[in-house]
């Protein structure tokens, strides 16, 4: 609950217990956007809003996702394949022969005279490391780790079929955390269950989350990783904008980093917030103990990733992305990599255009609706597809007063800087910008308290309606 300083100092409201959505001014030591005062919301109202949100999701995005058809198999997802490889005591992946992974490798391949490095014999975007002639997964290992952890359950219920997940496991770990965590986090930030339900619906159905969920349904690793990273980013942001206990933020950062490595850059604002402790409600104070604890947590997150890199590619800083173009040098992304490398300032102008300015390309227009053309596979402006993001600019004068908001936003700019230097602008992403998901949930959470009241309410409703309709056409 809200505690007041007896000496007349600034009040501190924990975002986890906020109940009044009206933002109030503050300074570095006192959050400006967290609500204060007001009646406590009943649990029944919160539950009712959550259930109504689920009903709205079923009506709007449910037909696009078809939860009953979700599947996750090693033959489709390199993360599951890597987990199965670990269970077999190896790091490398087998070649893809005859529509399935050949776990008898290398004997069967050698008999057939096949080349394991042929892109047609590798799972999509896996690396062929020429010095050893082995195939490796280069995506972050959270799905691989979960595959190993779930293997006793899956062996019990599926026999020896460790190459696949139970549909229940898949949905419980990949889909359901989104509406649950999203609703709780937006409610803590705004203090109102109804508004939290609306923002969660907008985030899941009116951003690139929806098409990545559609990809995850078929077990595509990129889609699964993007979806999982959203939960981690929201947990991280909720802790730093709330109680700032740091350990939940580290858990969120671990989830996001083990699905999207670039998000490890959020460790910088996390470290600074740990050092500049503002929980007292007064002026920030140095907290070396929390800083050291946070630094140790970041090292624990980074060490396994660096160790995997060393074991696979002989260099802890080599994540293996350069090897995914072995045999694919003439493909569009292969040429970009060959000419300029994995990261280069050469890509900044083009990537900024695709992320922030590229218009959608309209395809067929029929009585059933408008279809977005896939002529542009290199992303579409997030401001056009998700105008709710404009609130992070319109409310900058309010959230800027809050130190932790400033630090989180600066962290998101670091992540964006890395993305715009990357050789791929998000290919394949026709009609949306999937790389924006590495910072968009944080933007929405920071701006959430300032999205309603008078004309703001109507503008937000209009933005949400537009985004929901737009992504209905995209997916």
Among 158, 190, 217, give the residue marking a domain's end.
158
Residue 452 pLDDT greater than 90, yes or no? yes
Tens digits of per-residue pLDDT, 138-151?
Answer: 999 999 999 999 99
Arithmetic mean of pLDDT, 401-419: 96
pLDDT of residue 456: 97
Q: Is residue 8 part of a domain?
A: no
pLDDT of residue 111: 59
Q: Is residue 3 part of a domain?
A: no
User: Do 65 and 104 have their domain in common?
Assistant: no
CB burial string 367-405: b at 16+ within 10 A, e below: eeeeebeeebebbbbbbbbbbbbebbeebbebbebbbbb
Q: Is residue 4 part of a domain?
A: no
180-194, 267-281, 428-442, 453-467: least confidently modelled range: 267-281
User: Do 54 and 92 have their domain in common?
Assistant: no
User: Do 228 and 366 have their domain in common?
Assistant: yes
| DSSP percent split of the chain into helix, strand, coil, nearest 5 | 60, 5, 35
Arithmetic mean of pLDDT, 375-380: 84
Residue with the bigger pLDDT between 112 and 315: it is 315
User: Do 329 and 261 have their domain in common?
Assistant: yes
Tens digits of per-residue pLDDT, 125-134?
Answer: 999 998 998 9
Q: Is residue 210 part of a domain?
A: yes
Tens digits of per-residue pLDDT, 394-409?
Answer: 999 999 999 999 999 9
pLDDT of residue 10: 36
Q: Predicted confidence band at 2 (pLDDT cuts at 50, 70, 90)?
A: very low
Tens digits of per-residue pLDDT, 99-127?
Answer: 889 888 876 665 555 666 788 889 989 99
Tens digits of per-residue pLDDT, 16-56?
Answer: 333 344 444 444 443 445 454 345 789 999 999 999 999 99
Residue 411 pLDDT greater than 80, yes or no? yes
pLDDT of residue 23: 45
Q: Is residue 423 part of a domain?
A: yes
Domains of the chain: total: 2
pLDDT of residue 372: 79
User: Do 68 and 174 have their domain in common?
Assistant: yes
Arithmetic mean of pLDDT, 95-101: 86
Residue 329 has phi, psi (to 5 degrees) of -65, -25
Length of the chain: 475
Strands 134-136 and 96-97, by their bridges, are unpaired
- Give the mean pLDDT of the chain: 88
Residue 6 pLDDT greater than 80, yes or no? no
331-335, 356-360, 450-454: least confidently modelled range: 331-335
Among 158, 186, 211, give the residue marking a domain's end.
158
Residue 190 pLDDT greater than 60, yes or no? yes
Tens digits of per-residue pLDDT, 358-373?
Answer: 999 887 776 666 777 7
Q: Which residues contact 263 (CB under 8 A, 6 or more apart)?
A: 229, 232, 233, 253, 256, 257, 415, 438
Alpha-carbon distance of 414 to 407, in angstroms, equals: 11
Alpha-carbon distance of 81 to 224, in angstroms, equals: 14
Residue with the bigger pLDDT between 355 and 281: it is 355
User: Do 131 and 276 have their domain in common?
Assistant: no
Residue 4 pLDDT greater than 80, yes or no? no
Q: Is residue 269 part of a domain?
A: yes
Alpha-carbon distance of 95 to 214, in angstroms, equals: 27
Residue 132 belongs to domain spanning: 78-158
Among 131, 158, 185, give the residue marking a domain's end.
158
The alpha carbon torsion through 131, 137, 142, 145 (nearest 10 deg) reads -80
pLDDT of residue 3: 36
Question: Cα separations (Å) of 272 from 29, 65, 409?
Answer: 14, 39, 13
Tens digits of per-residue pLDDT, 227-244?
Answer: 999 999 999 999 999 999
Question: Cα separations (Å) of 190 from 115, 148, 194, 198, 283?
Answer: 56, 38, 10, 11, 24
pLDDT of residue 16: 38
User: Do 371 and 467 have their domain in common?
Assistant: yes
Q: Do residues 220 and 72 touch, judged by C-beta distance below 8 A? A: no
Q: Which residues contact 433 (CB under 8 A, 6 or more apart)?
A: 208, 354, 355, 379, 380, 381, 382, 385, 426
pTM of the model: 0.89
pLDDT of residue 18: 38
pLDDT of residue 26: 44
User: Do 455 and 325 have their domain in common?
Assistant: yes
User: Do 300 and 231 have their domain in common?
Assistant: yes
Q: Do residues 371 and 363 touch, judged by C-beta distance below 8 A? A: yes
Residue 168 pLDDT greater than 50, yes or no? yes
User: Do 377 and 352 have their domain in common?
Assistant: yes
Residue 314 pLDDT greater than 80, yes or no? yes
pLDDT of residue 124: 87
Alpha-carbon distance of 115 to 134, in angstroms, equals: 11
Q: Is residue 10 part of a domain?
A: no
- Token pair in block for residue 204: 């899941």
Instruction: State the residue for tokens 């109680």.
Output: 243
pLDDT of residue 28: 44
Alpha-carbon distance of 241 to 407, in angstroms, equals: 10
pLDDT of residue 112: 58
User: Do 122 and 38 have their domain in common?
Assistant: no
User: Do 235 and 314 have their domain in common?
Assistant: yes
Tens digits of per-residue pLDDT, 215-227?
Answer: 999 999 899 999 9
> Which of these, 431, 399, 436, 432, lies nearest to 420 by C-alpha position?
436
pLDDT of residue 331: 87
Q: Is residue 466 part of a domain?
A: yes
Alpha-carbon distance of 80 to 165, in angstroms, equals: 8
Q: Which residues contact 457 (CB under 8 A, 6 or more apart)?
A: 451
Q: Predicted confidence band at 96 (pLDDT cuts at 50, 70, 90)?
A: confident
């Amino acid at each position: 609950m809200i505690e007041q300083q007896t000496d007349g100092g600034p009040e501190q409201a924990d975002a986890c217990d906020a109940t009044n959505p009206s933002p109030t001014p503050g300074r570095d030591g006192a959050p400006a956007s967290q609500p204060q005062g007001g009646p406590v919301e009943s649990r029944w109202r919160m539950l009712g809003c959550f259930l109504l949100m689920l009903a709205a999701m079923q009506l709007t995005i449910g037909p696009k996702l078809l939860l009953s058809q979700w599947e996750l198999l090693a033959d489709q997802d390199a993360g599951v394949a890597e987990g199965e490889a670990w269970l077999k005591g190896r790091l490398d992946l087998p070649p893809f022969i005859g529509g399935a992974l050949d776990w008898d490798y290398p004997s069967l391949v050698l008999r057939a005279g096949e080349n394991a490095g042929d892109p047609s014999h590798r799972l999509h975007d896996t690396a062929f490391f020429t010095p050893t002639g082995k195939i490796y997964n280069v995506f972050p290992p959270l799905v691989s780790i979960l595959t190993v952890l779930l293997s006793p359950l899956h062996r019990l219920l599926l026999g020896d079929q460790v190459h696949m997940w139970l549909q229940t496991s898949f949905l419980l770990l990949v889909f359901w955390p989104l509406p649950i965590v999203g609703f709780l986090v937006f409610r803590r930030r705004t203090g109102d269950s109804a508004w939290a339900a609306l923002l969660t619906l907008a985030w899941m159905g009116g951003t690139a989350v929806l098409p990545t969920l559609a990809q995850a349904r078929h077990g595509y690793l990129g889609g699964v990783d993007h979806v999982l990273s959203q939960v981690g980013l929201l947990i991280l942001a909720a802790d730093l904008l709330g109680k700032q206990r740091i350990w939940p933020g580290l858990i969120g950062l671990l989830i996001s980093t083990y699905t999207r490595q670039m998000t490890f850059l959020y460790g910088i604002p996390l470290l600074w917030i740990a050092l500049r402790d503002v929980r007292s409600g007064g002026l920030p104070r140095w907290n070396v103990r929390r800083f050291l604890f946070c630094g140790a947590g970041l090292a624990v997150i980074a060490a396994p990733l660096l160790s995997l890199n060393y074991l696979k590619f002989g260099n802890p800083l080599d994540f293996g992305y350069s090897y995914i173009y072995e045999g694919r040098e003439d493909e569009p992304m292969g040429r970009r990599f060959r000419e300029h490398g994995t990261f280069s300032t050469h890509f900044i102008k083009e990537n900024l255009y695709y992320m922030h300015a590229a218009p959608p390309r309209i395809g067929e227009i029929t009585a059933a609706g408008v279809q977005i053309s896939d002529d542009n596979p290199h992303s579409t402006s997030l401001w056009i597809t998700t105008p709710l993001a404009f609130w992070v600019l319109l409310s900058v004068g309010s959230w800027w007063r809050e130190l932790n908001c400033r630090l989180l936003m600066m962290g998101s700019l670091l992540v964006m800087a890395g993305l715009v230097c990357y050789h791929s602008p998000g290919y394949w992403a026709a009609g949306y910008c999937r790389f924006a998901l590495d910072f968009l949930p944080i933007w929405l959470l920071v701006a959430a308290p300032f999205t309603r009241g008078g004309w703001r309410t109507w503008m937000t409703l209009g933005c949400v309606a537009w985004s929901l309709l737009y992504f209905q056409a995209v997916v």
